[in-house]
Amino acid sequence: MPEIKVTPLGAGQDVGRSCILVSIGGKNIMLDCGMHMGYNDDRRFPDFSYITQNGRLTDFLDCVIISHFHLDHCGALPYMSEMVGYDGPIYMTHPTKAICPILLEDFRKITVDKKGETNFFTSQMIKDCMKKVIPLNLHQTVQVDDELEIKAYYAGHVLGAAMVHIKVGSESVVYTGDYNMTPDRHLGAAWIDKCRPDILISESTYATTIRDSKRCRERDFLKKVHESIERGGKVLIPVFALGRAQELCILLETFWERMNLKAPIYFSTGLTEKANHYYKLFITWTNQKIRKTFVQRNMFEFKHIKAFDRSYADNPGPMVVFATPGMLHAGQSLQIFKKWAGNEKNMVIMPGYCVQGTIGHKILNGQRKLEMEGRATLDVKLQVEYMSFSAHADAKGIMQLIRMAEPRNMLLVHGEAVKMEFLKGKIEQEFSIDCYMPANGETTTVTTNPSVPVDISLNLLKREMALGGPLPDPKKPRTMHGTLIMKENSLKLVSSEQALKELGLNEHQLRFTCHVQLQDPHSDADTLHRIYTHLKSVLKGYTIQHLPDGTVIVESIVIKVSSSAEDSNTKVLLLSWSYQVKTWTLFLERFVIIYSFKCSEQQQDRELIDIQWGGKKIH
C-alpha cells in the first residue's frame, strides 16, 4: 500500500523553528524553514543533517514551500539554501516574497552587526536565496513537475499567509502553517476547500485555549492602556513589524480619536512606512471593510501614531510605544524594556505567544529578576500584562478547519506536547480519525488508500436512477455496473452498449453451465414439464417458456433434462445462463425451488443436492 511520511525537523512538540519534511508519492517536500527565537547557537536552525549527511539538499528535495514571513517559519531559509546548499524551487505568496527579505535583513543586522555573531548568512545570501523564489497566487494550481502540484489557500494570520494543498496522483497533504479562523480588523478568516486530504498538518499553538470574544479583549486592552497613561506611566507593546502591530494600531488610533487623548503613541522607526507600503500594495489580501474604505481613507495612515526615536524613551510623562520584536528577545523592544522595567507606574503588554527561552516568556511566567548579557541582573517592577491578540487559531478554530477540510488523518505541529496531547484526544473522539503528534526527528508513516477518479456516463447514471436506487453520495458508496474504459490517462464507466460502440467491438455472450442431479422415475419430458409447471406457479414475476425442443427458459437461464446413462431414474438437469447482474441470485432461487419441488412432489428422503460451482460444493 502507498504511504506518506512526515518528519518534523522543527516545531515537533515545540513552538518555533517550523520545518516539516513530507515524503509523498516519491516526492520530498520541505514545509517552512524557520529559526528558533529561544536559542542563540546552532539549535536555532533545523537539523538538516537528517536529510543528508553530505552533499547538497537539491539532490534530495523536490521543492520548499514557505507559509508566511514570520522568522520562525522562514528565518533559516538563506542558511539552508546558501550555506547548506539548495538550488531547487522555493514557493511562497507575493506578499511573503516582498516582506521576507526585509525581516531577514533586520534580524541579520541585530545578530551579526550588533551582537557580532559568526556562522550566519550575509545580506548577499538573502538576495541570492530570494532569486530562487517562485511566487504563488491564491487558488492557483501550480505544477512543480509532471506529478507534483500545489495550491495555496488564504490563512489569515498575517499579510500573505497561506495554507497549501500538496497533491501527487491521488494522494494529498494540507499544511496550514499559522492560520486564524476569526477575522480581525485588517485580515479575513482562513478558508479551504472540502479537499479531504490524506493528512492535515495543523499548527496547535493554542491547542487547549478557547479565547473569549474579541470585543471583550479589545475593551480590556484599551482600559489597561488608558489607566496606565492616566497615572503618568509608559506602556510598551512588543510586536512584530507586520500583523498584530497593525491590528492594535488601528484599535488605539480609533480610541485616541474618540477620547481626544493627547499622550503620544510611537511606532518603531521605519517599520510603519514599510508596513503602509505593503498593505497598499497587497490591499486584496486584507479584509472587506479595509478594501471598501481604501479609496476614501487608508486605514494604515495614522494621525495619532508617530515614528519613534530611541531618545524618546527617556522623555518624561506618559507614552505608548509599539516596538519590535514581539518576544523581547532582541532589538528595540528589549532596549526600551530595560529602561522602563524599574518603574512600577510603567506597563508592558504582551499581545501574543512567547517562545520558551525569550525574555517575554520569562516575565509572563512571573520572573522578576532577569539575568541579562554580561551577567547583569535586571529587576522587573513594571506591570506585566498578557492579552492574547494572537492571530493563531484556538482549539475551536482548529476543530472548525477539520470540519471544513474533512481529512482522513490529522497531524499536529507547532505546539506544546501536553496541550497537543489534550487536543489529539478531542480530535480522535469527535472525528473518529487518527491524530499524530511526532517530536522533532520522529517520522510518522500513514498508509493511504488512494481513490481512483472515474467519470460516469450520463446515460448509465440515468439508467441507475430509473431502477429506483439512491442518488450517489460520497459518504454512502453504492455499486454501479458498467464497462470501464481507459482513454487518454482517464477512466470512464459506461454501459456495455456504449462501450461496444465507442471501441468498435462486436458483442460476445459468455454462458455458464451447471449440472444438478435428482431422483425421478418419470420420463425426461414429464420431469421437465413438472419443473415448468412448478416454476410458473412460484415465479410469477418472471418470463418462463417451455419450448418444443424440450427446453425450459427462465429469463436468461436455460434448463434441460436428461436421464443418467447408469440409472434412468436419475435425472440430470443442465442449467445454463448468461452473465448478468442478478444471475447468481436467480440461480440459487432455482436450486431452492427445484429442491423443494423434489421433496414435496416425491415425498422421498430429504437428501441434500450437491451443486458443483467453481470447484466448491454448495448444499
Q: Cα(277)–Cα(301) distance, rounded to whole angstroms?
A: 10
pLDDT in tens, 23-36: 999 999 999 999 98
pLDDT at res. 474: 63
**Average pLDDT over all residues of the chain:** 86
Query: Does the domain spanning 3-210+391-447 belong to CATH 3.40.50.300?
Result: no
Pinpoint the alpha helices (H) of 282-319: 288-293
Which band of pLDDT confidence, cut at 50, 70 and 90, is reported for residue 127? Answer: very high
Which string of b and e fits 27-51 if b means at least 16 CB within 10 Å? bbbbbbbbbbbbbeeeebbbebeeb
pLDDT in tens, 461-497: 888 777 766 666 666 677 788 899 988 878 999 988 8
Query: What cell numbers appear for 563 in the block?
Result: 436421464
CATH class of 214-386: alpha beta
- The answer to whether 345 and 232 have CB atoms below 8 angstroms apart is yes
Q: Residue 214: how many CB atoms within 10 A of its CB?
A: 15
pLDDT at res. 221: 94
pLDDT in tens, 155-212: 999 999 999 999 999 899 999 999 999 988 889 999 999 999 999 999 999 999 887 7
Radius of gyration, alpha carbons of the chain:
36
More confident residue, 444 or 582: 444
pLDDT in tens, 129-152: 999 999 999 999 999 999 999 999
Task: Determine the average pLDDT of the residues in 375-395.
Answer: 89
Beta-bridged to residue 148, according to DSSP, are 168
Query: Which one-letter amino acid corresponds to residue 199?
Result: I
Q: Please say whether the dihedral angle defined by the alpha carbons of residues 512, 516, 522 and 526, taken in this order, is positive or negative.
A: negative
Which band of pLDDT confidence, cut at 50, 70 and 90, is reported for residue 609? Answer: very low
Query: Which one-letter amino acid corresponds to residue 478?
Result: R
pLDDT at res. 379: 93
Q: How many helices (H) and strands (E) does the chain have?
A: 16, 32
Q: Residue 505: how many CB atoms within 10 A of its CB?
A: 9
What size, in residues, is the chain? 619
- pTM summary value: 0.72
* Residues forming CATH 3.60.15.10 domain(s) in the chain: 3-210+391-447
Least confident of 75-79, 310-314, 571-575: 571-575
pLDDT at res. 217: 87
Report whether pLDDT(613) > 80.
no
pLDDT in tens, 78-121: 999 999 999 999 999 999 999 999 889 988 988 887 777 878 99
Which band of pLDDT confidence, cut at 50, 70 and 90, is reported for residue 588? Answer: very low
pLDDT at res. 473: 67
pLDDT at res. 610: 39
Query: Half-sphere exposure (CA, 13 Å, Cβ side) for 41?
Result: 2
Phi, psi of 346 (to 5 degrees): -80, 165
- DSSP secondary structure of 425-439: HHHHHHH--EEE-PP
Give Cα separations from 28 to 35, 180, 300 (angstroms): 21, 27, 40
* Residues forming CATH 3.40.50.10890 domain(s) in the chain: 214-386
pLDDT in tens, 279-298: 878 888 888 877 777 666 66
Nearest to 243 by CA among 281, 200, 300: 300
* Residues forming CATH 3.30.310 domain(s) in the chain: 511-597
CATH tag, 511-597: 3.30.310
203 classed as catalytic:
yes
Conformational region of residue 11, where left means phi above 0, alpha means psi within -120 to 50, and beta covers everything else: left
pLDDT in tens, 234-260: 999 998 767 778 888 889 999 999 999
Query: Half-sphere exposure (CA, 13 Å, Cβ side) for 107?
Result: 30
Report whether pLDDT(220) > 90.
yes
Catalytic, out of 82, 105, 149, 203: 203
Task: Determine the average pLDDT of the residues in 53-74.
Answer: 93
Which segments of 176-276 are extended strands (E)? 199-203, 234-238, 265-267
